[in-house]
Amino acid sequence: MLSFPNAKINLGLNVIEKRTDGFHNISSCFYPVGWKEILEVIESSNLEFTSSGLLIPGEERDNLCLKAFNILSKDFQIPNVHIHLHKILPIGAGLGGGSADAAFTLKALNKMFNLYLDDTLLEEYAGKLGSDCAFFIRNKPILALGKGDQFEEISLDLSQKHIVLVYPNIHISTQEAYAGIRPQKPVVPVKEIIEKYDISEWKELLINDFEKSIFPKYPQIQRIKEKLYTEGALYASMTGSGSSVYGIFNQVPDIKSIFPEYSTWTPEK
Ligand SMILES: C[C@](O)(CO)[C@H](O)COP(=O)(O)OP(=O)(O)OC[C@H]1O[C@@H](n2ccc(N)nc2=O)[C@H](O)[C@@H]1O
Ligand SMILES: Nc1ncnc2c1ncn2[C@@H]1O[C@H](COP(=O)(O)OP(=O)(O)OP(=O)(O)O)[C@@H](O)[C@H]1O
C-alpha cells in the first residue's frame, strides 16, 4: 500500500509547564501542509525496513515505521511486511516527518490487515510512539494540548492562503530545544488569537515560545522569518522546535529565488 506522509506546521506554540513525566504541556494549532514523503508497505516473508532519499540518522531497526509495526503486532496477529520509505522531509526541522511516517504506517497496517481500529484507538497507539504522532491520524487542523496528543476543535480556514516553507539546513534536537525553554502561561491563548483575530494581527500576538531561545543561537533562522515579512507574508513563524520557518501569503512568492541557499517548499499551483 502506498501513502504519502505529510509535514505539519505549528500556528503558535506555547510551552506552558513541565510535567512530572519530564514532558511539557503545550498549546498549539497543528496544521497539515502538502510537503510529503513516499511510504510503501507490502506483505513480505520477513520484517524489513529500507529507505531512500534523505539519510535518516540512527539504525534502521530504530526507525519509527518499524516501531509502529511492532506496537501493533504485539496486540494483533499481523503478517510480516516490507516497509520502504522515500525520505523527503528534512529531519530535526520542526515538520514532524518521523511522526507522520509512524502514523501513516499505523494507518496502512490497519487498512491492509482489516484491523478495524477507529481513529481514537489509532491515536492511542500513535501517542506511544511520539508526542506529534497522534495528530497525523486525523491529519486536520486542530488545537493540540497536553503533550501535543490531546485535541480540541478549532475554527480556522486558510484555504485561500498559500503556505511556503524554508528549511535552513539546520538540525535541531527536539529534546535540547525543550531543555532551553522556561515554561509559562501565554498572555492570550492560541485558540483565542486564531479564532478571534484576523491573520493580519497574528504577527503581534501568535507566538512560538521556542523562537526566544533558538533565534539567538541561530540568527539565520530569525533572518528568514524577517525576510518572509519583507516579501509580503501576512504571518511568518518558526515551526515546532525549529528549524524550518513558514510564511502565509495571499499570493505565492517566488520562494526559490528569494532563498536560493536553502531547501524550500511551495504548494503546487
Ligand atoms: C515541538 C513539537 O514538534 C511541537 O509540535 C513537539 O512537541 C515535539 O514532538 P515530538 O518530536 O513527537 O517529540 P517526542 O519524540 O515525543 O519527544 C522528544 C523529546 O522532546 C521533549 N518533549 C516533547 C514533547 C513535549 N510535549 N514535551 C517535551 O518535553 C522530551 O524531552 C522528549 O524526550
Ligand atoms: N522515519 C523517520 N524519519 C525521521 N527520523 C526518524 C525516523 N524514524 C526514526 N527517526 C529518528 O528520529 C530522529 C528525528 O527526530 P526529530 O523529532 O528530531 O525529527 P523529525 O521526526 O523529523 O521531526 P521534527 O522535524 O518535528 O523535529 C532522528 O534522529 C532519527 O534517528
**Tens digit of each residue's pLDDT (9 = 90 or more) over 130-163:** 999 999 999 999 999 999 999 999 999 999 999 9
Q: Is the pLDDT of residue 38 over 90?
A: yes
CA pair distance 247, 223, nearest whole angstrom: 13
Ligand 2 site residues (CB inside 6 A) read 56-58, 62-65, 85, 91-99, 101, 173-174, 240
Nearest to 35 by CA among 142, 198, 145, 163: 163
DSSP 3-state assignment of 240?
coil
* Residue among 9, 28, 26 at smallest CA distance from 191: 28
Q: Which amino acid is at 217?
A: K
- Residue positions annotated with a catalytic role: 8, 132
For 198-245, the pLDDT digits (tens) are 999 999 999 999 999 999 999 999 999 999 999 999 999 999 999 999
Q: State how far the Cα of 149 lies from the Cα of 41, in Å rounded to an integer.
A: 25
Query: What global pTM score does this model have?
Result: 0.97
Question: Are 256 and 265 contacting, i.e. CB atoms less than 8 angstroms apart?
Answer: no
Question: If you search the block for the grid coordinates 499551483, which residue do you land on?
Answer: 269
Mean pLDDT of the 70-87 span: 98
- Going by pLDDT thresholds of 50, 70 and 90, the confidence category of residue 97 is very high
Q: Supply the pLDDT for residue 84.
A: 98
For range 92-110, the mean pLDDT: 98
Cβ pair 118, 78 in contact under 8 A: no
Q: How far apart are CA 265 and CA 164, in angstroms?
A: 6
The pLDDT of residue 268 is above 90? no
Q: What does the pLDDT look like over 117-133, one tens digit per residue?
A: 999 999 999 999 999 99
| Half-sphere exposure (Cβ direction) of 236: Cα atoms closer than 13 Å | 20
Identify whether 28 is preceded by a cis peptide bond (ω within 30 of 0).
no
* Confidence bin at 269 (pLDDT 50/70/90): low
Give the mean pLDDT of the chain.
97
Q: How far is the CA of 132 from the centre of ligand 2 (A)?
A: 11
Ligand that comes closest to the CA of residue 210: 1
pLDDT for residue 244: 98
Question: Does residue 91 have a pLDDT over 70?
Answer: yes
